[in-house]
Amino acid sequence: MSQVINSNIASLTAQRNLNSSQSSLNTSLERLSSGLRINSAKDDAAGLAISERMSTQIRGLNQANRNANDGISLTQTAEGALTEIGNNLQRIRELSVQASNATNTASDRAALQAEVTQLTSEIQRVATQTQFNGMNLLDGSFGTFNLQVGANANQTISASSGNFQTNSFGNYRIGGLAAFTSGGVGDLVAGTIGANSNAIGNAVLVSGTTGDTSGVNGAAAAGDFRISTSSGNFDVYYRAGASAAEIASSINKAGSGVNASATTEVVLGAATGSGAGFLQNTTYSFAISTDYSDPTNANTVDPKFTTISFKTGGADDASDVDSGNYLSTAIKAFNDASAKTGFTAEAVQTEDGYWAIKLSNTNGNDLRILNNSYDNTGAAIGITVSDIAVLDGDTGTTDSLADTLAGGGLDATTGVWTNGNGAWYTGKVTLDSAQSFSVTTAVADVFQDAATPGTAAAGTYGAQLQATNAVDVTSYDAAQRTLSIVDAALSTVNSQRANFGALQNRLESTMSNLQSTSENLSASRSRIRDADFAAESANLTRSQILQQAGVAMLAQANQLPNNVLSLLR
- For the chain, 569 residues long, the average pLDDT of each consecutive 10-residue run is 82 93 92 92 93 96 97 97 97 96 94 96 96 95 95 95 90 53 29 28 33 40 71 78 77 82 69 49 58 42 47 42 54 76 74 70 66 35 28 30 29 29 62 78 55 56 77 92 92 94 97 96 94 92 93 91 81
Residue 464 contacts residue 450 (beta carbons within 8 Å): yes
Per DSSP, 418 falls in state T
Residue 41 contacts residue 48 (beta carbons within 8 Å): yes
Q: Check residue 333 and give its pLDDT.
A: 74
Q: Check residue 251 and give its pLDDT.
A: 82
Compute the C-alpha angle 509/514/518, nearest 5°.
150
218/208 Cα distance (integer angstroms)? 14
Number of other CB atoms surrounding residue 303 within 10 Å? 12
Residue 277 contacts residue 352 (beta carbons within 8 Å): yes
Strands 459-462 and 259-269 come out as unpaired
Side chain identity, residue 129: Q
Q: Check residue 15 and give its pLDDT.
A: 94
Residue 122 contacts residue 89 (beta carbons within 8 Å): no
Per the DSSP assignment, residues forming a β-bridge with 263 are 428
SS3 content of the chain, % helix, strand, coil (to 5): 40, 25, 35
Q: Residues 61, 62, 66, 69: is their CA dihedral positive or negative? A: positive
Helix or strand or coil: residue 351?
coil
Helix or strand or coil: residue 563?
helix
167/510 Cα distance (integer angstroms)? 36
Rg (CA), the chain: 45
23/38 Cα distance (integer angstroms)? 15
Q: Check residue 1 and give its pLDDT.
A: 64
Number of other CB atoms surrounding residue 530 within 10 Å? 17
Q: Give Cα separations from 138 to 169, 172, 354, 457, 497 (angstroms).
A: 11, 20, 50, 39, 12
Q: Residues 165, 167, 169, 170: is their CA dihedral positive or negative? A: positive
402/410 Cα distance (integer angstroms)? 10
Element spanning 523, H or E:
helix 476-529
| 10 dihedral zone (left: phi>0; alpha: psi -120 to 50; beta) | alpha
Residue 502 contacts residue 63 (beta carbons within 8 Å): no
Q: What residues contact residue 33 under an 8 Å CB cut-off, 6+ apart?
A: none
Cα distance between the two ends of the chain: 21
Q: Check residue 455 and give its pLDDT.
A: 53
Compute the C-alpha angle 456/458/463, nearest 5°.
85
Number of other CB atoms surrounding residue 379 within 10 Å? 10
Per the DSSP assignment, residues forming a β-bridge with 309 are 285
Find out if CATH 1.20.1330.10 is the number for domain 49-172+486-519. yes
Element spanning 89, H or E:
helix 45-99
Q: Check residue 369 and give its pLDDT.
A: 59
Element spanning 275, H or E:
strand 275-276
Q: What residues contact residue 17 under an 8 Å CB cut-off, 6+ apart?
A: 546, 550, 553
Q: What residues contact residue 74 under an 8 Å CB cut-off, 6+ apart?
A: 132, 133, 137
Per DSSP, 327 falls in state I
Q: Check residue 527 and give its pLDDT.
A: 94
188/264 Cα distance (integer angstroms)? 17
236/248 Cα distance (integer angstroms)? 10
Q: Check residue 398 and give its pLDDT.
A: 30
